[in-house]
Amino acid sequence: MRFELTPRTTVSPVARALAPVAAFITAFLIAGVVIWLMGRSPIAAFDVYVLQPLSDPWSLQELLVKATPLMLIAIGLSYCFRANLWNIGAEGQYVIGAVFGGWLALRTHGTDAGAWVLPAMLLLGIIGGALYGLIPAFLKIRFGVNEILTSLMLVYVAQLFLDYLSRGPWRDPKGFNFPQSVTFDPAATLPSIMEGSRIHWGAIFALVAIVITAIILGRTLFGYRLKLTGDAPRAARFAGFSSKATTMAVFAISGGLAGLAGIVEVSGQIGQLQPSISPGYGFTAITVAYLGRLNPVGILIAALVVALTFIGGESAQILLKLPLDLTQAFQGILLLCVLAADALVSYRIRFVTRGGGK
Amino acid sequence: MTTFEAILLTIVTASTPLLIAALGELVTERSGILNLGVEGMMAMGAACSFAAAVTFDSTLIGVAAGILAGAFMAALFALVVLGFAANQVGSGLALTIFGLGLSGLIGAPFVGSRRDPIAPIDIPGLSDIPVVGRLFFEQDLFVYASIALTILIAIYLKRTRSGLTLRSIGENHASAHGLGLPVLRVRFLAILFGGACAGLAGAYLALVYTRFWSPGMTAGRGWIALALVVFAAWRPAWVLVGAYIFGAATVLQLHAQAAQWGIPSQLLSAVPYLATIIALLLLSLRYGRAIGAPGSLGMPFVPDR
C-alpha cells in the first residue's frame, strides 16, 4: 500500500491549527517507542518529562526562563523563514551577542559605572548579533554565496572565539584556572521581575518582541513584503520590493534578536562568560519557529512547549538516567513531524492499494 | 617513515570521510534533492558502526551497521520530503538534530572503548617506492574504495542511461515526470545512496580515523561535505580535489597546534570552517552564482495525476 498527495483547494483554519498538535503527539509516540526500546518505561518518562514539571511551581518558573531565549531567537528566525531565507546560524549570533555585551560587563567590572551599563550591554548584544548575522546576508546578496552553509560555519567560528576568550584573555585571574570570566557586577546583571523569582527581564523583552512582530507582520507593508518575497519571489520583484534589502533586513533582525537572547542569558542567568553558554538554543529555536507555524502567538506557545523538553530532559537525566541526548533527538523528530504535518494542511492524502487506483 | 610521509598519510585519512560523504550528497543533489542531514547521518553511521564493531568484535559488521544506519536515516528523510513533500531545508536540519541526539544515545555505552587499527592493504612492490609508495599503495581498503567510488559515480552520471535519467530529474522534475520518468522512485534511491555514503563516512571516522566514539565527533564534517559539493560545482572529480584540500587544511592546522607557534589553538581549529566560507566566496567570485546546480534542487515535487 502507498499513498498519494493531491493539493487541497481550500485550507481550513482548524486543520492549520491542529497540524502542529498532531505533529507533537506523533513525536511523543515515537519518543515513547524509543524509550521503550531502551528498556525504560515510557509512562514513567512521560511523568518526568511532562507531568512533574507542570505540577511544580519552581519548574514552571524555570520553564519561562528556558523559553525566553527560545522565543527571542525563534521570533527573529520567523522573519527569515517567512521570506524563505535560511539563517541557521542563530547559535553563533547568540554567542557573539553575549561576547559583545559581555565585553562591556567585563570592562566596567569593579568600577562604579552606573545604570547605563545594562542597557548598553543589551544594545551591544543586539548589535553584535546583527553584525554577525549580516555576514552571511552580505555574502549572499553581494557574491551569491549560499547562506545556509556560511551561517552554519560561522556558528563553529563563534563558539571557538568564545572558547578562546574565556580560556585566554577574559579568564578570571583569580578563578583557579577555570575557563570562565569574573562574575558580572550587579550593575551588569539583568534583574528578576520580582524579588525571589528566577524569571528575569528577558521574559518581558521576549513578550515585547512577540507583540511588535505580530504588529509588523500583520499590519505593515514590511510584513507583507516578507510574505510576498517568500511565497512569490517573482511577484515581489515586479512589485518593486528589493530582495537584497529584504535579505539584509531579516538577517539583521534575526541576528539582533539572537544576540539579545545571548546577552540576556549571560547577564540574567549565567552571570559570567564561559565556553558553553547554550544547550543549543539557536538550533532548537528553528524547531520552535516551525512548531509555532512562524506565527508570533504560535511561537510563544511552541517555545513554552519545547522548553518543557529541556526541563524534563534535565530531570529525566537525574531520575531515570536517560541521557540528555534524548531531548535533542526528540527535538529533531518533532521538527520532522511538524514539517510533514504541513503537508496534511496543503494536501489531501489518498491511500492507494497496490494494483488498484492507478 | 619520515614525518613528511606521516603527514601525507594522515591527510589521506582525514580526506576520505569528507570525500565519501560528499560523493553521496552529490548523487542526492543531482537528483534534485537537497539533504542537509549529512552531519546527522554521519554521526549515526559513526555511532552505530562503532557500537556494532565493539559488540561483535568485527570491523566488517561495524561498517555494514554504519551504512545501514545512514540509509535508515535517509529513508526517514525520504519519507518526509518525498512522501509528504515537506520543506527540504527544514527536514534536513531536523535530520541533523535528530541524528546528533540519537547517535549520542546509541554511543553512550561505548564511550571509552577503543578499536585496534585496521591493517592497510599493501600492494607488493609498488609500496616500496620512496615517499609516494606508501602514500598511494599502502592505504586501507576504504581509501581505495573512495577513489573507485569517485570514478564510478563520474562514469555513472556521465555515461549511463540511468545516470542521465537521474540528472534530468534533477534538472527539471516536471519535464522528467511528463516524459514518464519515475521521479519519486529515482529520488528515493538517490537519497538512500547519499545516506549510505554518509553512514560509511561516519563508520570510517569511528573505526579508522579516531578508533573511538565520542559525542559530536563528526564536528561539522557533514556540513563541510555539503559545502564541498557546491565547491565542486556538482562534479565528482572536483569533489575529490576539494576533499583533499580540506583534509590537508585539517591536518596542517592540527600539526600547527602541536608545534605551538603561539597562535591560539581555537583560531587554528576554526581554519576548516573559515576555509569553507572563503572557498565558497572565491568560487562565487570566479564563476558567479552557484554554477552547475541542478535546476530543481531543493524544490518539493508533487506529481499531478
pLDDT band of residue B209 (cuts 50, 70, 90) is confident
Assembly ipTM: 0.88
Q: Which residues of A touch B284 (CB under 8 A)?
A: 143-145
Residue B130 counted as domain residue: no
Higher pLDDT, A21 or B117: A21
- Give the model's pLDDT for residue B121: 65
If residue B194 lies in a helix (H) or strand (E), which one and from where to where?
helix B183-204
Residue B271 counted as domain residue: yes
**A29 inside 8 A of chain B by CB:** no
pLDDT in tens, B149-179: 999 999 999 999 999 999 999 988 888 888 8
- Give the model's pLDDT for residue B210: 85
Task: Give the residue from A101, A170, A159 showing the smallest Cα distance to A130.
Answer: A101
pTM of the complete model: 0.90
φ/ψ of residue A6, rounded to 5: -125, 135
Provide the domain limits for residue B82.
3-112+160-287
Chain B contacts in chain A segment 173-202 (CB below 8 A): none
Q: Tell me what percent of chain B is helix, strand and coil, each rounded to the nearest 5.
A: 75, 0, 25
**What is the end-to-end Cα distance of chain B in Å, rounded?**
64
Residue B230 counted as domain residue: yes
Whether pLDDT at B8 is above 60: yes
Q: How many domains does chain B have?
A: 1
Residue B297 counted as domain residue: no
Q: Which residues of B touch A38 (CB under 8 A)?
A: 105
Regions in chain A scoring below 50 on pLDDT: 356-358
User: For the residues of A63-79, what is the DSSP string, one character each?
Assistant: HHHHHHHHHHHHHHHHH
Give A279→chain B minimum CA distance, Å: 12
Give the domain ranges of chain A: 68-305
Question: How many Å apart are CA A211 and CA A204, to the nearest integer?
Answer: 11
Residues in chain B: 305
Average pLDDT over residues B30-46: 95
User: Based on the number of CB atoms within 10 Å of its own CB, is A3 exposed (0-12), middle (13-18) or buried (19 or more)?
Assistant: exposed
Beta-strand relationship, B121-122 and A2-7:
unpaired
pLDDT band of residue B288 (cuts 50, 70, 90) is low
**B89 inside 8 A of chain A by CB:** yes
Minimum-distance CB partner of A332 among B97, B215, B223: B97
pLDDT in tens, B228-247: 998 888 999 999 999 999 89
pLDDT in tens, A226-284: 888 877 878 887 887 788 888 999 999 999 999 999 999 999 988 899 998 998 899 99
User: Based on the number of CB atoms within 10 Å of its own CB, is A315 exposed (0-12), middle (13-18) or buried (19 or more)?
Assistant: middle
Q: Which residues of A touch B264 (CB under 8 A)?
A: 164, 168
Asked if B284's CB is within 8 angstroms of A143's CB, the reply is: yes
pLDDT band of residue B131 (cuts 50, 70, 90) is low
DSSP H helix total and E strand total for chain B? 13, 2
3-state class of B162 per DSSP? helix
Minimum-distance CB partner of A286 among B93, B220, B230: B93
Residue B148 counted as domain residue: no
Asked if B86's CB is within 8 angstroms of A343's CB, the reply is: yes
Question: How many Å apart are CA A316 and CA A65, to the nearest integer?
Answer: 19
Question: B137: which residues sit within 8 A by CB, 6+ positions away?
Answer: B122, B123, B126, B127, B129
pLDDT in tens, A135-169: 999 999 998 888 988 999 999 999 999 999 999 88
Question: A119: which residues sit within 8 A by CB, 6+ positions away?
Answer: none
- Give the model's pLDDT for residue A97: 97
φ/ψ of residue A275, rounded to 5: -60, -35
Question: How many Å apart are CA A285 and CA A90, to the nearest integer?
Answer: 8
- Give the model's pLDDT for residue A88: 92
User: For the residues of B91-146, what is the DSSP string, one character each?
Assistant: HHHHHHHHHHHHHHHHHGGGTT---PPPPPEE-TTGGGSTTHHHHHHEE-HHHHHH
Residue B301 counted as domain residue: no
Percent of chain B residues past pLDDT 70, beyond the cut: 91
Whether pLDDT at B122 is above 60: yes
